[in-house]
Amino acid sequence: MTNEQKTKARAALLRYVNNFDTPAQAAASLYGVSVSTLSLLRNNNCESLSDELWIHIAHQVGCVDTEWKPADTGAYLLLRILCADAQHYRMTYGIAIATGLGKTFTAHHYTRENADTFYIAGNEYYNRKSFMAALLHSAGQKAKGTVPEMMQQFADFIRERDEPLFILDDAHKLKDRVLHQAVILANSVAGCAGIVIMGDDRLRTRILDGVNEKRIGYDEIYKSIGRRFISLGSLGPHDVDLVCRANNLTDEDLIAAIKDECNNNLHLATRLINQAAHYKIAA
């Protein structure tokens, strides 16, 4: 990564950390990032951090390396179609998609390319107030007031947009009260905005179990997405090949090795592709 890309990634990380009460909570919500690593980044003492770690951090905090090219994988095409459909026709979709298929990358890419698209990723440390603060921040708004006031602030802002889309990623990580609040908020702008609520299969299982067990709020959540989930469980047979070739890796042996090693997970495939690219440059 270039120094400019690292500067952008560090700024995005610091904004992300500010949504948590403590650095330990922020670190716990990130895969492969320790409290000590956060301390280095906050103090701008980053010389010891590898390019691989920088890329890993950038992807998790929504500062995806602009040099990374999307590929027309099954998940990428499906999610873009659903996001566009939701945005243009003010639809609400619930999506259950397996980890490692590229849902977060696709959501970020769609958000950057389309105006009035607002993205937030759920995590288990959000309470209702910090969730609303993070959501307003994603829309470029300064959070103020009580939780109901912030919900009204966001709803008013959304209703002023031409074709707004609200993407809630990793919804399975939210606590019950926060997930229910997100659905109340989504319902308040239904008909004015497109809404995509997505997570892994734990989200679908959790909501269906909640409906069957008549837990408070769950029937409302299920009703909000039309009482159905759109599901995708695995990579297509050529998806890893497509990602490799879109990012200038064409060696057939390397592609085959990455397919064997990535275990049906594009997160790992991305890391292996980056490693192959760095090895090639060094050679």
Greater pLDDT, 189 or 278: 189
pLDDT in tens, 146-179: 999 999 999 999 999 999 999 999 999 999 999 9
* Residues 9, 57 contacting (CB under 8 angstroms): yes
pTM to 2 decimal places: 0.78
Class of 74-232 in CATH = alpha beta
Asked whether residue 53 carries a pLDDT value surpassing 60, the answer given is yes
Q: Please give the pLDDT value at position 281.
A: 38
pLDDT in tens, 240-249: 999 999 998 9
Asked whether residue 32 carries a pLDDT value surpassing 90, the answer given is no
Asked whether residue 251 carries a pLDDT value surpassing 60, the answer given is yes
pLDDT in tens, 180-190: 999 999 989 98
User: Dihedral of CA 99/87/59/273: which sign?
Assistant: positive
Q: Please give the pLDDT value at position 162.
A: 92
Asked whether residue 145 carries a pLDDT value surpassing 80, the answer given is yes
Asked whether residue 282 carries a pLDDT value surpassing 60, the answer given is no
- pLDDT band at 279; cut points 50, 70, 90: low
Asked whether residue 208 carries a pLDDT value surpassing 90, the answer given is yes
